[in-house]
Chains A and B, each alone.
Chain A
């Protein structure tokens, strides 16, 4: 919805009136074309962002017996399965570190990515009662899911640290760039999530596609295995996946091995930006129709 807040004055109120007119606090009118991101409005609703993220967190840990342990156990179990299947059975290389640590380092970034993508793609349908009853910038809902997923990531990061200490693995200084790898992953997850969330409002089969899509993406990305295990002639196809460089970079910096090529990281960052902008665009374009369709 296009709205003008008091600082942009509607033209008709500038017409020559002897009386000094008050400016409207807000003007509601039909939106036309592409509207810029109203970051100020999102800032005004920052308390809602915080409340919704807190709600997600509280609900996750209420009434579950193991509570926070689940966040630790699920990736640990997945890493255990991967190290058995890919390390013990398929005998894929994991460098100098045990396969468990190797696959956990891959899952750290992946779990965050998959969590954000899944949560965002369902966030509009899951909050349809809010969307049809109150106004707030709709972008708040997907943004709030990032908050709760970041907390999960931090818990997993603590487990990662413990594993590194146990197995005497020394990270490289590039570990300081962890926020950069996370930013690329966030941009891709947010971008894909926003597009699918907007589509899911009109097309109810999207929520069924997402889990299958993420499952395929998991095996198409270097999580359970490393890029070096991919046959040379297939590498170029493999490098088209923008998730590959940040996931590899995250693992490499944690395990102290060589980072992927800088240009592939830059390419991935550029692609991530495109995906994010596409997501934002399709979300904003559909935003005004959510309440009517949902």
Chain B
């Protein structure tokens, strides 16, 4: 590839945030001045700590590449996108952009509930950087894509949430920049609309434009992207082929070699949830912890919970995902037990499957705890993995093929001569 094919060139990019410690933070002018008067020697704002959200990132993106940017929460993905879309500026380093950038960090930015669909299309388009002429030219396409013809002159506050999101994405999808930056917009809307969005993004990529796509949905990343970059603590951990990056992401921070996964300080913990879940242990045949299981043998998962406060009837749930993070199934304690009791001290929840019943390969497991009527207390997505070995779940010794799907369906077969009516007689 020659230098003429580069779309984005990032050199030594770093971003520092200054964190002011809570007890000395002043958010009003009066407080700041008062503090200054009391401590004339102190600097404004009190003691400060520098946090590097990005540290010396360098990479090039070629024209027409669709690059997936992955990483756990706090890895620096959002900061990178914000710098690329010029919302915030870097502390060090440089980025050369060879083309107009359109960024979608959120759908429906600047939508106003009181304005009509038509008015919002023009307003949102202008906010995203489109000229009035451009919007007018794309107007029919936008309305058509969103499917809101009948409600164009209705204030969007009367729209259903689905219509709202469709209209918002439709405007953004018609932005047509040379470089498109997308953050998690696919997390919204129904399955059909998500498919439509993915399709639209594929079209953008096919048209020779460059796409930077940030997502937690590994299936979408793998489906859409050709290359990938994985960030951890503000640095590039892996960069290259998308498959390599996705598998690095999925095995990050989870060491379950001995079957026991410590969850107390786990990178997969969602947002601000409190660490209720302490550990998760896979137990195989013979009652020993393990991370490898035979497809026809039992598996148990033991979840240890350390409740920060007493809880009545906790709902522990476990979900199994395939190697791309696509959910296969969920088992929750309250599906089977109505009242699980009241706990103030650490307790244990155990799930057992008579048979693993999965095809060979690597699977991920998510775990969460919730309160009846209340929300999710703690949740870790794809926090651990286990491997399944095929031990001939089929009576004939037939091998499993990935094309069959991950779940083995237990079936009894009979093949007899004659047609249905006589065979059943």
A residues engaging B (CB < 8 A)?
A: 1-3, 10, 17, 19, 21-22, 24-31, 45, 47-48, 50-52, 54-55, 58-59, 62-63, 129-136, 199, 202-206, 288, 291-292
Please tell me if the beta carbons of B17 and A55 are within 8 angstroms of each other in the complex: no
Please tell me if the beta carbons of B96 and A204 are within 8 angstroms of each other in the complex: no
Q: How close is B152's CB to chain A, nearest CB, in angstroms?
A: 15
Most buried by A among B3, B89, B122, B123: B89
Please tell me if the beta carbons of A203 and B28 are within 8 angstroms of each other in the complex: yes
Please choose the segment from B107-115, B235-243, B381-389 that sits at the chain A interface, where 4 or more of its residues have CB less than 8 A away: B107-115
Nearest B residue (CB) for A1: B89
The one of A27, A54, A129, A132 that contacts B97, using a Cβ cutoff of 8 Å: A27
Please tell me if the beta carbons of A62 and B106 are within 8 angstroms of each other in the complex: no
Q: A52 to B99: give the CA distance in the assembly, Å.
A: 26
Complex interface: chain B residues within 8 A of A54 (CB): 123
The one of A29, A55, A129, A134 that contacts B103, using a Cβ cutoff of 8 Å: A134
| Sampled A-B contacts (19; CB under 8 Å) | A1-B86, A2-B89, A26-B97, A27-B95, A27-B97, A29-B94, A30-B90, A51-B123, A51-B127, A58-B119, A133-B109, A133-B110, A134-B128, A134-B129, A135-B103, A203-B28, A205-B29, A291-B82, A292-B88
Q: Is B100 an interface residue (CB 8 A)?
A: yes
Complex interface: chain B residues within 8 A of A50 (CB): 126, 132
A129 and B88 contact, Cβ closer than 8 Å, known pairs A27-B96, A28-B97, A134-B128? no
A203 and B131 contact, Cβ closer than 8 Å, known pairs A24-B98, A25-B98, A58-B119? no
Nearest B residue (CB) for A55: B123
Please tell me if the beta carbons of B109 and A130 are within 8 angstroms of each other in the complex: yes
Please tell me if the beta carbons of A31 and B30 are within 8 angstroms of each other in the complex: no
Complex interface: chain B residues within 8 A of A62 (CB): 114-115
Please tell me if the beta carbons of B86 and A129 are within 8 angstroms of each other in the complex: no
Q: Is B27 an interface residue (CB 8 A)?
A: yes
A51 and B4 contact, Cβ closer than 8 Å, known pairs A25-B97, A29-B90? no
Complex interface: chain B residues within 8 A of A58 (CB): 114-115, 119
Q: A60 to B92: give the CA distance in the assembly, Å.
A: 43
B residues engaging A (CB < 8 A)?
A: 2-4, 9, 17, 27-30, 32, 82-101, 103, 105-106, 109-110, 112, 114-115, 119, 122-123, 126-132, 178
Nearest A residue (CB) for B2: A19
Complex interface: chain A residues within 8 A of B131 (CB): 47
A-B contact count (CB 8 A): 127
Q: How close is A9's CB to chain B, nearest CB, in angstroms?
A: 11
Nearest B residue (CB) for A132: B87
Please tell me if the beta carbons of B88 and A134 are within 8 angstroms of each other in the complex: no
Please tell me if the beta carbons of A204 and B4 are within 8 angstroms of each other in the complex: no
Binding site secondary structure of chain A: mixed
Please tell me if the beta carbons of A21 and B3 are within 8 angstroms of each other in the complex: yes
Complex interface: chain A residues within 8 A of B87 (CB): 131-135, 291
Please tell me if the beta carbons of A203 and B119 are within 8 angstroms of each other in the complex: no
The one of A31, A45, A51 that contacts B89, using a Cβ cutoff of 8 Å: A31
Please tell me if the beta carbons of B127 and A205 are within 8 angstroms of each other in the complex: no
Nearest A residue (CB) for B178: A25
Please tell me if the beta carbons of A28 and B86 are within 8 angstroms of each other in the complex: yes
Please tell me if the beta carbons of B127 and A291 are within 8 angstroms of each other in the complex: no
Q: A131 to B106: give the CA distance in the assembly, Å.
A: 12
Q: How close is A6's CB to chain B, nearest CB, in angstroms?
A: 10
Complex interface: chain B residues within 8 A of A21 (CB): 3-4
Nearest A residue (CB) for B132: A47
Please tell me if the beta carbons of B3 and A19 are within 8 angstroms of each other in the complex: yes
Complex interface: chain A residues within 8 A of B115 (CB): 55, 58-59, 62
Nearest B residue (CB) for A29: B94
